[in-house]
Amino acid sequence: MAKNKNRPATILPNERNNALLGNGVLDTLYRGRLHELAMARFKWENLPPEIDERYLEMSLNENGMVAFFRDDIAEKFVVQPCLANGPWDNYGYPLRIETWNNWNSYRRYMRAYITQKEKKRGKEPDKYVVVFNNMIRCPTFPWLDYYADQLYDIDQTRSINLRAQKTPVMLRGTDKQRLTLKNIWLNYDGNTPVMIVDESVDKDSFAVLKTDAPFLGEQLTAMRRHIMGEIMIYLGYETQEATQKAERVLAGEVEAAASESMSYRYSPLIMRRQAADKINNMFDLNIEVNFRQPKSSLVEFDDPLTQLALDSEQAQEIGGMASV
């Protein structure tokens, strides 16, 4: 019987394929968790009801920029990822953009300028506002994917190291001794304190397989905590990135970590607020943007665009609370 050359090869399930599948799921899980942290940072208030905040933030973090405009045909406001096609003004603001929707075929080209001939025909420039994700106009997700790969490697290393701590028991004997060795194992596995065996049983038949791999659980957990601290600071969340044991945290370290996280918060928050101001002026809206900050048991700071104030008395109090 001739073989069908066009027939796709069948990949039989085996341990390696299962491991690769599991690795892919775990890597995707880490990426998803970090993406969620980025998407939940900012709260948009007074958005038109047709604007989905989740899609807005997902598009910003994924694409680096979105366009906010009003669709006169649909008679509603729209937010979509966009691409700057040029030209640009003196400050790099795109005067011509292409927008699209990831879930349908909606696509639109818009220009913030018109030619003299178009002006004579009564055509007006398109009204839109480009919202940038940060001051360098880049997406956030690629950075988080970099960190997700590190967390994935640590998790895999920790799993391998944990498995290496096992000390399986090997029983060696002849076929005639199979039943005897089986009974001995059942007693061993059943935590029998005393086992009586025939004198013919060789004690050398028992062996414990030891890998001599050092247990790295504490070091790997500390490394994971350190990376998560870097991620939270990069996303602008107030956090105490405790690289040392957490029984004592100095007030200066709390203040330094909070200041660093707030510095990272400036860029995306400023760009969102600038865009909100332009949108409000262009479309007579009242949109506001604020940072969502989980309540901290260590310290709470004001809005990052206000003066950061933490006097020495408060710092000492915080340090005393952290060291309890």
- Domain boundaries of the chain, sorted by first residue: 27-132, 141-163+215-265+293-322, 169-208
Q: How far apart are CA 148 and CA 32, in angstroms?
A: 9
For the chain, what is the radius of gyration of the CA atoms?
31
Residue 124 tokens, joined: 């007006």
For the domain spanning 27-132, the CATH number is 2.40.500.10
Q: How far apart are CA 173 and CA 305, in angstroms?
A: 75
pTM for the full predicted model: 0.71
Each residue's pLDDT, cut to its tens digit, for the chain (324 residues) gives 444 544 444 444 555 455 555 567 777 888 999 999 999 999 999 999 999 999 999 999 999 999 999 998 889 999 999 999 889 999 999 999 999 988 888 899 999 988 888 888 888 899 999 999 999 999 999 999 999 999 999 988 888 888 777 766 666 777 777 777 777 777 777 777 766 666 666 666 666 566 677 888 888 889 999 999 899 999 998 775 533 444 455 555 555 556 777 888 999 999 999 999 999 999 999 999 999 876 553 333 344 443 333 333 443 444 443 333
- Cis-peptide, bond into residue 304, ω within 30° of zero: no
User: Which among 295, 284, 275 has a CA at the least distance from the CA of 56?
Assistant: 275
